[in-house]
């Protein structure tokens, strides 16, 4: 009596409780650490998508760079490992619905829809749309 310290049973109980509680604490922590890079990937993918869209938007409606194009195959983005993009340009009507097959259209009313998709290293995709019009 009067001795300070822990008994063997108390230490065993502590070890068992720690073995049960630690995984429930560590698993969410590890998942959070793994996902912590995701916001940076989203920002990078959106930046790249907007960059590609700006390349298209600098042209006037009749410029050959804006000729209707079916969806392209994914292409790697130079300087951004793991990121890929693809795009398409279609004729659309005033409700932005694809006219005809989108590439050969006579009643398009002077609208072209530009679509850019970027895929990040985890294969999540981000899409951006824009429309250019023909002004006389």
Tens of pLDDT, residue by residue, the chain (136 residues):
567 778 899 999 999 999 998 888 888 888 777 767 788 889 999 999 999 999 999 998 888 999 999 999 999 999 999 999 999 999 988 888 888 777 776 666 788 999 999 999 999 999 999 999 887 5
Q: Which residue do the tokens 């294969």 mark?
A: 123
3-state helix, strand, coil in the chain (%, to 5): 40, 25, 40
Is-above-0.75 flag for pTM? no
CA distance 95 to 103: 17
60-64 long-range Cβ contacts below 8 angstroms, 24+ apart:
60/132, 61/110, 61/112, 61/132, 61/133, 61/134, 61/135, 62/134
Mapped onto helix, strand or coil, the DSSP state of residue 39 is helix
């Amino acid at each position: 009596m009067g001795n300070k310290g822990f008994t063997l049973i108390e230490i065993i109980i502590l070890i068992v409780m720690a073995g049960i509680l630690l995984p429930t604490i560590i698993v969410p922590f590890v998942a959070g650490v793994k996902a912590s890079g995701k916001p940076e990937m989203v920002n990078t993918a959106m930046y790249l998508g907007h960059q590609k869209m700006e390349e298209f938007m600098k042209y006037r409606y009749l410029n050959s760079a804006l000729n209707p194009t079916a969806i392209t195959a994914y292409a790697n983005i130079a300087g951004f490992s793991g990121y890929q993009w693809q795009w398409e340009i279609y004729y659309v009507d005033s409700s932005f619905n694809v006219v005809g097959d989108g590439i050969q259209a006579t009643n398009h009313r002077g609208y072209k829809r530009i679509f850019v998709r970027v895929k990040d290293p985890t294969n999540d995709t981000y899409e951006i749309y824009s429309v250019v019009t023909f002004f006389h």
